[in-house]
Amino acid sequence: MQNIFLYLLEFFLYIILIASTFFYGSILPFSSFILQVVIFLLGFLFLLYLKNTEKILYPKSIIFLFLFFLIAIFEIIPLPYSILKILSPNTALLYSDYLFNFKNSFFSISVYPFNTFFELLKYITYFIIFLISLNIFNKREQFERLIIILVILGSILSIYGVMKKYFIKELEISSSFSVFYNRNHFSAYMIIIANLAIGYSLSLKERSKKILFGFLGALISSCIFLSLSRAGILSLCFSLFLLIFFIIPKNLRKIWIILIFILFTIIFINIAGIEPIRIRFLEFWKDLGYRLSLSYFGLNVLKDFFIFGIGLGNFPYIFTKYNLTGRYSYYLLNEHLQLMIEAGFASIFYFLFFIFIFKDIFSKLKTRQDLFVRYIVFGGICGLFGVLFHSFFEFNFHIPAISILFWAILGFIYKCVYTHFFINDREKDKI
């Protein structure tokens, strides 16, 4: 029975990872809602699985996420105006400016609690994906299976993106690429897969398979360039530099794989043409200035709502008052700063979770000699760092497909670094 639940969890995790890329990365309300319902049902299946297992694996830093969730829940609880005025003076001032008879009423710290509630549900669904990914992968073949599925998915979506861009132009939405509404979202998604492909290639012993996955990693990486996402290109280069920094000092013999990867990438880019990429970067400083101006105005919001923030998901309803660019912005184009604005000091717990979990991964990785573990974890962690860097210029974590993949791979590499494989996993079953 336990094995049945395990296989079902693994199968539906793959389905969610693949299906989440549909409908522009599941940004459409209906597709996002269906995805959340399916993940909660999967969470229920996970609870049934836990009844038949001895223990659940989780990092100690998970306490910071629970604190983040608790504060977010507290922010949607109605409070007397007198208490609200003490806890969040500027929020109380907003109510007093727009409502009558406010002093004897109850208000939440979140300026739009309904929206905060549903945003919190999204965070919980990503947390469920993290826990499932953390607990269902036990054998090397399972780790390899996930990577192979993701690399195949990334390759198919990349090829489709190129076909749509160059051969089906009438179907292309401006600034879109592949199945994603925005090329920046495509690039963020593929940065994780490209790094995993390279890490997996480095871990393999058969030269033909090494070249194959290096080739697919190069194909995906070149499509990030062809998507013309400047933040994506810079973030990919950043993540690959980290990967080289981690790997080369440990094993100089692997440098030939990196060189082949770079060669394939350059060939693919030149076949399609490098001129559009050059033209895009000519406008780099202009667009960067716009993003920095949004962040500057965002800092003014943070200054006024520093303690508790304005509530998860409420950024667009407040930012209009502070935004002097003359252009409406639903997102800040800086994911980390937007979270600080919405969650206030609770965002510190969110960031601490990532700091400590990455610290745990690196600490454990120092003790591991298994090359499969080292290269897979290096590839996964560099992909995640690439997305985190990319998120200084985009709102990646508001795209369900990217968030689901990010949290799944976070749990995946955490479990991988703590897993000790037998030479042949079948031998494990005989012991």
| Residue 156: C-alpha distances to residues 11, 163, 186, 231, 301 (Å) | 20, 11, 13, 22, 42
pLDDT band at 342 (very low <50, low <70, confident <90, very high): very high
Residue 3: pLDDT band with limits 50, 70, 90:
confident
Q: Model confidence at 251, in pLDDT bands (50, 70, 90)?
A: low
Taking the C-alpha atoms of residue 205 and residue 187, their distance in angstroms, rounded to an integer, is 29
59: in domain: no
Domains contained in the chain, number: 1
Residue 414 lies in a domain: yes
- Per the model's pLDDT, the better-predicted residue between 216 and 175 turns out to be 216
Asked if the structure places residue 121 within a domain, the reply is no
- pLDDT tens figures, 22-70: 888 889 888 999 999 999 999 999 988 888 776 788 899 999 999 999 9
Residue 79 lies in a domain: no
Binned at pLDDT 50, 70 and 90, residue 430 comes out as very low
DSSP label of 324 = -
How confident is the prediction for the chain on average, in pLDDT?
88
**H helix runs in 137-182, sequence order:** 140-167
Under the banding of pLDDT at 50, 70 and 90, the label for residue 280 is confident
The Cα diameter of the chain in Å comes to 75
In a domain, 92, yes or no: no
pTM of the model: 0.93
Tokens of 50: 């836990």
205 located within any domain: yes
Q: Give how far the C-alpha of residue 342 lies from the chain's centroid of Cα atoms, to the nearest Å.
A: 18
Contact 406, 192 (CB under 8 A): yes
On whether residue 359 sits in a domain, the answer given is yes
According to DSSP, residue 418 is labeled T
Tell me the two tokens of residue 278.
């050059």
Long-range pairs for 172-177: beta carbons < 8 A, 24 or more residues apart: 176/24, 177/227, 177/228, 177/229
Domain region containing 209: 139-285+332-430
Kindly give, in sequence order, each residue whose CB lies less than 8 Å from that of residue 371, ignoring residues fewer than 6 positions away: 202, 203, 251
Please state the three-class secondary structure of 261-322 as a single string.
HHHHHHHHHHHHCCHHHHHHHHCHHHHHHHHHHHHHHHHHHHHHCCCCCCCCCCHHHHHHHH
The answer to whether position 57 is within a domain reads: no
